[in-house]
Homo-oligomer: A and B are copies of this chain.
């Protein structure tokens, strides 16, 4: 599990044939572990990857993060080695890779004042059969990350039809008419674990939510915008470069940050 190398015939390396999770750790705990494992299990079912089991993965992750004050643990599952070209072998032995990482050093102002966001030039593809999955093929996100950052802490990615789908490493929520609006991810994008948490918080609190396509003009006319991530939590957006500005944090952003602060993770909210 904790080898520091993989064989060169690994299918994750050769074909992006696998899934991953990056899980926030606080005081040796993983507050969203259950959601991460549920997403991973659903993803394994979708791509026909043998599921190692919640108990086994949970135990291995817990061992890996024991004693970690704050940080990130990354779990990669690949379809292992072998097969003939793209076709997997009849019985594929899933490869597990677990690695621990320091938390990126985010400025506290990202939470208290909000962030500047840019519109990425790189477009996100439409891939209905892999949409929502956190699979290993993330070249579009890499290319978006290589663009000049214009002093922005995150970039928003559009698809070829100009729909705003997600941040490079986060999901987007807008506030309109007192409710939340978040992009439909059935064509592309990653269905984030913190996005799922915010959707649940909204459902419990009676906050209306619309999951729909979002255009640049809808972005401009929103009252607030927030980005969600299982690593950084919630960042309110104060400015989208050359597009618009928002109250940051606004009332909804503050309310959601207060809600997720109950999960006990330092830095997920100010």
A residues sitting closer than 8 Å to B (CB atoms) are: 3-17, 20, 47-48, 76, 78-79, 84-88, 97, 99, 104, 122-123, 125-130, 133, 135-146, 160, 168-169, 187-188
Contacts and interface: CB of A to CB of B under 8 A. Distances in A.
B145 A87 contact: yes
20 contacts: A5-B6, A6-B8, A8-B76, A9-B99, A13-B78, A15-B141, A16-B16, A16-B137, A16-B138, A16-B139, A85-B169, A86-B145, A125-B125, A125-B188, A126-B127, A129-B140, A130-B143, A136-B137, A136-B139, A137-B138
B16 A20 contact: no
Nearest to A125: B127
A13 B17 contact: no
Contact of A168 (B6, B20, B86, B169): B86
A187 B126 CA distance: 10
Contacts of A47: 139, 142-143
Contact of A13 (B6, B126, B130, B168): B6
B6 A76 contact: no
Contacts of A129: 122-123, 125, 140, 143
A6 B127 CA distance: 29
